[in-house]
Chain A
């Protein structure tokens, strides 16, 4: 038994007569099987993510993103271009929170909800009356700096961050289950209020994938803007409702207490009625808390798997190259050096692949 095992391993990994002087794992049919195994691994991971909807979930993205830091980094980016800092608005934050909750509840990752609800509708419902407005979304990021860097690397999101027409921003950092994975969504809404008397001052945050401009005269009431009056300046990314349903869990909603954010100056709430301050108060929890049941990030698992296979290939190819040179073996096969360069590229890209998605 032991001898058979030893023989099998040598047959798979070492160039010898039994494998025509090339490790069996490097034979084309074995490489094909390896590709299928990689796909099966990924498929199993996906199935597992969707099947585990209960409290025993172990896959997810832990995050320590804080709204205050997002605001700070956004204003740093704006300052580099000589733009005025954005000020945080609690009503916009309430709208952002409502949008985030809606995405978890209806299981979608898009600017437009499956039922056609636009970001502007959330702003209107929250009571934010604006001249121009926009929205940026992000998910699966572990740090604020990586998320803001991703927004800045995306031309459309960057355009929103650098839009001098915006004066205010609202942020929601929300934990929940999306596409079967525990994750943190960041919703950033920003705009310019129709009435200058309506604001809560704290610097703001990045990104919008769309901007709407209201062309009608403002309504005197606290409730917001009718949707037909919105004119998109930059079209939002098309909506992509998710197939899988179960939303069930918004485990935790995280929203910075903008009124007490450090380093952003005093918050002054003036005349405009703030429609749902109590809702905000109910969802305030410490930022950056990580749910204990999350053990593995799907990204880290797939990266580890891909890297392991790439390293196995590199080792086998390098050893095979060494042995064939040493033994002066003549074979009619692909170029090991070419394969090595390819898998080095794969390993490099996997190692430095950055997670997170923006929309």
Chain B
């Protein structure tokens, strides 16, 4: 895991920074449910874009990988969204 992180330090740093910013945003906008749902959409879009771009950089991008990032982002968004209703 450490090796994987060090191999793609920039990519993972961006990911961790983005996720931390969204967590912080979640705390800041509470108790505004609408803003929280916007943040969930931003989280899903951010992760999808991150995954695609990270694989473009390593030249390992396939449609299957794109689909994987899409559904992983969707699942994360669904799991968070159901809590906010």
- Chain A interfacial positions (CB closer than 8 Å to B): 28-29, 31-32, 34-35, 38-39, 41-42, 46, 150, 153-154, 299, 302-303, 305-306, 309-310, 313, 321, 325, 332-335, 337-339, 341-343, 345-346, 348-350, 353-354, 356-358
B residues in contact with A321, CB < 8 Å: 1, 4
Whether the pair A306, B75 counts as a contact (CB closer than 8 A) is: no
Q: Within the assembled complex, what's the spacing in Å between the Cα atoms of A358 and B31?
A: 7
Task: Name the A residues within 8 Å of B43 (CB-CB).
Answer: 345
Contacts of B22 in A (CB 8 A): 345
Kindly state the separation between the CA atoms of A144 and B80 in the bound complex, as whole angstroms: 25
Q: Which of A32, A348, A353 contacts B74 (CB 8 A)?
A: A32
Contact residues in A for B1 (Cβ distance below 8 Å): 321, 325, 337
Interface string of B23-66 (1 = CB under 8 A from A): 10010001111000000000100010011001100001010110
Give CA–CA (A31, B67) in the complex, Å. Answer: 10
Q: Are B54 and A335 in contact (CB under 8 A)?
A: yes
26 A-B pairs, CB-CB below 8 angstroms?
A31-B68, A34-B75, A35-B74, A35-B75, A39-B82, A41-B82, A302-B82, A305-B82, A310-B79, A321-B1, A334-B65, A334-B72, A338-B15, A339-B72, A341-B16, A341-B19, A342-B73, A345-B19, A345-B23, A346-B80, A349-B26, A349-B80, A350-B79, A353-B84, A354-B31, A358-B31
Closest residue of chain A to B22 (Cβ to Cβ) is A345
Whether A154 contacts B12 in the complex (CB less than 8 A), given A299-B83, A306-B82, A345-B19, comes out as no
Assess the B75–A38 pair: CB atoms within 8 A. Answer: yes
Q: Which of A34, A305, A332, A342 contacts B47 (CB 8 A)?
A: A342
**In contact, A332 and B31 (Cβ under 8 angstroms):** no
Contact between B65 and A332, CB atoms less than 8 A apart: yes
Label chain B's interface by main secondary structure: helix
Shortest Cβ distance from residue A207 to the other chain B in the assembled complex, whole angstroms: 12
Q: B83 to A31, Cβ gap below 8 A?
A: no
Known: A42-B85, A338-B15, A341-B15. A357 touches B31 (CB 8 A): yes
Task: Judge if B10 is at the interface, Cβ distance under 8 Å.
Answer: no
CB–CB B51/A343 < 8 A: no
Per the bound structure, the CA–CA distance linking A154 and B30 in Å amounts to: 8
B51 touches A154 (CB 8 A): no
Q: Is the CB of B12 within 8 A of A338?
A: yes
CA separation between A332 and B18, bound complex, in Å? 25
In the bound complex, how far is the Cα of B23 from the Cα of A346, in angstroms? 9
**In the complex the two chains form, is B68's CB within 8 Å of A354's CB?**
no
Contact call A337/B32, Cβ cutoff below 8 A: no
Q: Residue of B at shortest CB range from A157?
A: B31
The contact of A335 among B33, B51, B76, by CB within 8 Å, is B51
Instruction: Contact check, A337 vs B4: say whether CB atoms are below 8 A apart.
Output: yes
| CB-nearest residue of chain B to A309 | B79
User: Given contacts A332-B64, A334-B51, is CB(A353)–CB(B83) below 8 Å?
Assistant: yes
Taken together as a complex, chains A and B put the C-alpha atoms of A95 and B70 apart, in Å, by 51
Q: What would 20 more interface pairs be, CB under 8 Å, given A305-B82, A357-B33?
A: A28-B70, A32-B74, A39-B82, A150-B30, A150-B31, A153-B31, A154-B32, A313-B75, A332-B64, A333-B64, A334-B68, A335-B55, A338-B12, A341-B19, A346-B79, A346-B80, A349-B80, A350-B79, A353-B83, A358-B31
Q: Are A38 and B72 interface neighbours, CB within 8 A?
A: no
Closest to B58 in A: A335
Bound together, the chains give a CA A25 to CA B71 distance in angstroms of 12
